[in-house]
Structure formats: structure tokens, C-alpha cells
Amino acid sequence: MSIELRNVSFSYAGDRPVLRDVSFSAEQGGFLLIIGQNGVGKSTLLKLLNGILKPTSGQVLVNGVNTATQPTSRLAKEICVTFQNPADQIFASTIRAEVEFGPRNLRRKNVDQLVDDALVLCGLDALASHHPYDLPSAQRKLLTVASAIASGAPYLAFDEPSAGLSQIERSVFEGLLTALKKEDRGMIVVSHDLALLLPYATAVLILARGEMIYYGNAEVVTQQDGLIRKAGLRLPLPYRLEKLFGK
């Protein structure tokens, strides 16, 4: 059971390729962190995972099924992709109704249980009857995470899930990463927030100009500064200090 990309390339009609020959595999219980500069094709990659975009060449396989042959509404049962801007998806008048949307669409059997669990995990259970826009923007971000968890999909993909979260929400987020791993869910996360997420990553994929320049375990990334710099990125200051002290 996995999500696999096999030699996937993608270009928008008539344009130069956004992604070139990308291959990786995300397992259940694993955490794949995808990093790269803005504009390098990370959002496009996420849209390929649930069939919103079909690859120009190569294959995207969700549990062995080719996404090119499936509509997104069916693939959403296996993988829930959450985009960066909560304002693009929040529509309901209560937090509970918002989180219920996913599992109801996907006709899950135990919708109430899924919703309750997701709300508790994200620290939103006490606010279930509030309007989403009563929450500060950091908690609205967590609301989109709760919506994804409640969908019941075995794989969850997020675009910058920790952007805009402050200390309390970051602690909640770390807690739910641990819980999701225990549930054996597969996580695919696109993020700049190496400080928060690198410790949880079981695999890292580095994209530069649409190409994969690294795919492997996370330790190598912190040890080889050159790799990060090649992608036009920097390690967080604490990691660099550690290396400084190591000398």
C-alpha cells in the first residue's frame, strides 16, 4: 500500500516542463517532506497526487491504481490533499459542519466519530459550534488540518501546514503528527518549516527547478549543507549553530 510516482513529468499546455522525471514512493506510517524554493513545482506535485492534474508522462499510482484513469472524487478516498490557503475551502457556518464535509462526501460510515477525533486532535473540540471566522487565522489553519484528518483517508498531503502557526498551535501540530504516525497514516508534506518538521520526516525529497536533486533519509540533509544550498535553501539557524559547535 503506497503512493508512487514513476518517472513523472508535467508541463502545462504548451509551456516548458514544471516537473521532470520525478520518482518517489510514500508509505503508510511514513512522513515524506518535500522541500524546495517557491515556484519549483511543489504545488503542482501535490495536484498530481490526487488526480487534479494528470502527468504528461510517467505514472502516479495510488495503492496501485493509476490516477490517470480515476476522477479526483474517487481518489480523495485514498488521499486527502489540503492546500495552503484556508480561505479557499472554509465555507460552513460551524466548525463541526466544516470538518464533516469531507467524510460525508466520501460516504464514510462513522462520520461523527471521525469528526470528534479530528477535533480533539487539533484542539478544536471546545469550539465545534463556533463560526470558523471567529477563530484567529492560526487556528483556521488547524481547522483545515482537522478537515483532512476527519476525511479518513489513509494518506494526507499538506501544503505548508505550519505556516502562520504560533507556539501553541505548533505544539498541537507536533502532537497530531505523532498520533497520525500511530494510526499508520502516510503523510506527504510540502514545507519550508524545516525546524519543526525535519525531526519527524522519514524521507526527504528536494526539488530544484522541477528536478529531484535528492530523495532519501532526513539525516543526510542536515549533514550535507551543500545539498540544501544547491536547492537555493538554508538550514534553520539552530542546525547551523549545531554544526558550528560541532567544530
Partner 1 sequence: MSTGQSLSRKLALVLLLWVCAFTLPWTIQASLCVVLIIARYAVLPLRPITPRSAKAFSRFILYSIAVATFIILLNGLLIKEGAVAAKVFGIPLHKEGLLFGARTASRLLLLSFSILLFFVSTSLPDLIEHLQTKGLPPYLALVLLLTLHFLDQLPARIHQIFLAQQARGAPVDSGLLSRTKALFSILSPLVLSSIVESIERGTALELRGFLQRPQVARVIKRSESETDWLTISLILLALAVLIYRIVQWLIA
Partner 2 sequence: MADRIVIQSFSLQYSATTPGVLSSVSLDIPSGTCCAILGPTGAGKSSLLQCLAGTMQRHHPESVASGTIQIGERLFEALPSHVLFPSVGYALQDPHVQISGVRDTVFGEILFTLENTGEVPDEPAAVILPLLRKLGIDHLADRKPTSLSGGETQRVALATILVAQPPVLLLDEPTTAMDLAAQEKLRGILRGMKQSTTIVLTDTQLDFALGICDQIVVLEQGKVLFDGTPAAFLRRLDEFHTSLPLENWLPLRQQILRLLDQPSRLGSRLALTLGLK
Contact positions vs partner 2 (CB under 8 A): 37-39, 84, 136-139, 160, 163-170, 192, 194-196, 232-242, 244-245, 247
Q: Does 138 bind partner 1 (CB under 8 A)?
A: no
Kind and range of the H or E element at 8? strand 2-10
Angle at 186 between CA 69 and CA 173, to 5 degrees: 130
Q: For partner 2, which is the closer residue by CB, 153 or 172?
A: 172
Distance CA 5, CA 60 (A): 5
Q: For partner 2, which is the closer residue by CB, 133 or 183?
A: 133
Q: For partner 1, which is the closer residue by CB, 53 or 221?
A: 53
Per CB under 8 A, contacts with partner 1 among 98-137 are 101-102, 105-106, 133
Q: Which span (14-22, 59-67, 70-78, 235-243) binds partner 1, by CB under 8 A?
A: 70-78
Distance CA 152, CA 29 (A): 14
Least distance to partner 2, CB of residue 122, Å: 15
Tell me the three cell numbers of residue 38: 517557491
Distance CA 147, CA 217 (A): 29
Strand partners, 59: 6
Q: Contact 36/231 with Cβ under 8 angstroms?
A: yes
Q: Which does 102 bind (CB under 5 to 8 A by kind): partner 1, partner 2, none?
A: partner 1
Pick one of 22, 26, 32, 50: the residue that binds partner 1 (CB under 8 A): 50
Residue that is written with C-alpha cell 514512493 in the block: 25
- CA 8 to each of CA 33, 45, 56, 62: distance values in angstroms, whole numbers, following the listed order: 18, 9, 7, 14
> Can you tell me whether residue 243 is helix, strand or coil?
helix
Q: Does 44 bind partner 1 (CB under 8 A)?
A: no
Q: Does 87 bind partner 1 (CB under 8 A)?
A: yes
- The binding site for partner 1 (CB under 8 A) comprises 47, 50, 52, 71-73, 76-77, 80-83, 85, 87-92, 101-102, 105-106, 133, 147-148, 151
